[in-house]
Structure 1
């Protein structure tokens, strides 16, 4: 399963090589061309260039991770997050740094003073233990600037769910790869982008270079369907189909495009939901502003616990997202217009 392969590989912002290589190997036999631009995006041309509309589908390869910023005299590693990570979820989590295993440590609760116990730990209070006894020993294996990754095996969870790391946005990458194996009567470009988690940087370059007539962004998005959140505040719900974005911190999506996607989903009998929150953003934030403007939509697979060591999604949401995008591509330009 491609998603399992992608989920278990490591590739944070600026270090997406493993993901790019896996996708290139998967797609090389069934596409016209593959190229890597100077920032690291993998650009895949499905067919020889056609006069038909040029459609770009984007999914980002990078995941959140940690960067080593210092090594203490005792051989512990200090770090900073790459992308948005809640420090509260980090204590005791296992990591991979190069070929090493490490564990995130902090002052044990038994040693904390009463006031310390009342406050959440900050990044500055955390460190990584790799079993080194000194700075010199640690430096034999780790350098400043190395990345530390969560490692989680992807596996089935309960009935119809998957658990794994980096579903944001390896699930989008897996869906895009499946679409690029199919044939469409249009000029289809796949953009596997880099550095989304640190400012949508790869998408900026890809959109400027490709110059599509229309763009679709595939994402793994936050789901707030959990015990602590009232039902009326759920942003998305796993198992209810792809989430269609209306607005977020980076994009106000065009209502006429959203309406067409909804109409098509209902015609095809594909379940969908509206993303009912405006926080965050995705590659659409840069794509839709490129050059003279690019009509853009975003479809996301709801994931619980994104930006953590393990996320959870519903398998059928992957299928429904794939089928809806397939329907959009087949409907262009006669039944789906972005003009």
Structure 2
């Protein structure tokens, strides 16, 4: 396995970047992008892309930098932190987990706690605990002591889980594959294509604030004004016990995901078919997903300006929107291969043929 790839994955997944607090990941993305191109563009919210190629049309490829997490909402008089979610969370995955409070001066470790089960009623034990009933313990005894540690209302709170290849080294554990997988893919596509003579201009990087409403996608698309766009993200793997195959049949190691429909977008059919044909031409494995329970940055890309044909190319992941997640190395590699092959074919006449319905 490529050690440089593993190191990049480790750096991306272990660097914190909550919605509205993406500066650490932004700086890492910028550091990586500048090794491939000096042409870097960033919007006023912090979405960032590197540009290679000098021909029309413009092609946009982006993951999103932000991860689900929390924000300190109040401090109790006894020194516990109350918190609100940044992005979607399910109460079952939170209790007794370690978290990191990102203060201005240093990071502090805390533990998500609640009233113990020994004192819950039978009915209470059957329910998913509301986040409003949880707290974070950082080892303080008063509000004053918490404040002396530098913690303030509005501080971001991140999950804790190191990057680690599992027993099968292609199975990769981290806390933030949603969506550092997309950031990784965007960087590797930029790296691979920088020496090519492209028939277009590729803008590749990542957006901010996807988890709270696809906000950076809207501003980035307005800034770049691409003719074609690709969002790269993760999808829900169904290859675990208890999953209904009618909900999702996606499996790790079976190839990247081509989204034919989600809550935020139906892809432009001409572009969809073009991507599928390219995958088949190059014997690139892929999986098809139709899922109404989520959306991606493509939801904003495709309705920007007068409409941008857009496609989502993702990888399946287990346990997203929790403290841990797992993806397969081969899926990442095949997603990079597919996007590179597609982008190399997007010249002016091809792109003109991928717009409209006639």
Could you tell me the TM-score, scaled by structure 1's length? 0.96
TM superposition outliers: structure 1 runs of 4+ over 4 Å: 334-337
Whether the 8 Å contact between 1:67 and 1:81 is mirrored in structure 2 is yes
RMSD: 1.4
Deviations 1:27-59 (A, max 9, x none): 213213113221111132224xx3332101011
* Paired position in structure 1 for 2:311: 297
Residues 1-339 of structure 1 mapped to structure 2, 5 A cutoff: 1-47=7-53, 50-98=54-102, 99-141=107-149, 142-159=151-168, 160-181=170-191, 182-183=193-194, 184=196, 185=198, 186-333=200-347, 338-339=354-355
Instruction: Mark the runs of 5 or more structure 1 residues left unpaired by the alignment.
Output: none
Q: Distance in 2 between matches of 1:121 and 1:84?
A: 15
Whether the 8 Å contact between 1:6 and 1:170 is mirrored in structure 2 is yes
**Structure 1 SS opposite 2:343:** helix
Deviation at 1:293, TM superposition (A): 0.5
Whether the 8 Å contact between 2:75 and 2:81 is mirrored in structure 1 is yes
**Structure 2 SS opposite 1:293:** coil
Deviations 1:182-209 (A, max 9, x none): 2341211124100000000000001011
Name whichever of 156-165 and 63-72 sits farther off.
156-165
**Structure 2 SS opposite 1:31:** coil
Whether the 8 Å contact between 2:29 and 2:205 is mirrored in structure 1 is no
Deviations 1:231-251 (A, max 9, x none): 333252211101101111110
Instruction: Mark the runs of 5 or more structure 2 residues left unpaired by the alignment.
Output: 1-6
Deviation at 1:221, TM superposition (A): 1.8
Aligned residue pairs, count: 337
Q: Distance in 1 between matches of 2:42 and 2:308?
A: 22
**Structure 1 SS opposite 2:320:** coil
